Amino acid sequence: MDYFIILLCCDIEIRFGQTGLFLRKKAAYACGKKIFLMTNSNNLNFIIKKELIETFQIHNRINTYLLDAIDETHLSDTSASKGRNVGEQFAHIHNVRLMWLKVAEPKLLSGIDKIEKENKISRKILKDSLTKSGNAIEALLHQSAATGKIKGFKPHATAFIGYLISHESHHRGQIILSLKQSGHPVDKKIQFGIWEWERDDFWLATDFHRNKLNRL
């Protein structure tokens, strides 16, 4: 990331390239290309939290990107070892999010329903549900900014994001395998696309880059 430093009396204004964000610091020391800041942890925590939330937003957008590429009739595909079918894998991702929300902040569950196996699972239901639960997780992460903690999860909010992304990525792999073993492999473009986190439609649309994410 590029840094632009402007001396303003005894303050230093630091602009973060492309994001439009800036912070003013009371003191800073530059040594070559490295910048050493004397500042409190709250301001740095603000930047870190915004980037972590952006990371989860990109991850959730990749989930729906994969879902959009799957034919409705293939949601019932299962792997050779059986277990959950494709639709149930997506539903499980959503339901696990709700499980953590129930423990950490039940109020965020308002208007969000669990996807039951007994009900017909459609692509629209899955996409709407993943979007809603994704927004609720983002709200939870906002709330965690003050303490860096998630109720019911150890050790901290950063690990919680890592846990969610690891868990959901595991199931993305199972989904792709189930489709392949059922004779409906995901298009190569999509297979490569889920790794292109730098794609404009994945990250430029996030709150971080729309400048709509309020100070944590």
Tens-digit pLDDT profile for residues 115-151: 998 888 999 999 999 999 999 999 999 998 888 899 9
Compute the mean pLDDT over every residue in the chain, rounded to the nearest whole number: 79
> Is residue 111 domain-resident?
yes
Burial class of residue 216 (count of CB atoms within 10 Å of its CB; 0-12, 13-18, 19+): middle
> Is residue 181 domain-resident?
yes
Tens-digit pLDDT profile for residues 26-53: 334 344 444 434 344 455 465 558 888 9
Do residues 111 and 179 both lie within one domain? yes
For residues 9-34, average pLDDT: 41
Do residues 93 and 32 both lie within one domain? no
Tell the residue number behind the tokens 């309020």, with chain if given. 214
- Give the count of domains, the chain: 2
For residues 52-67, average pLDDT: 93
Query: 25 lies in which domain range?
Result: 3-38
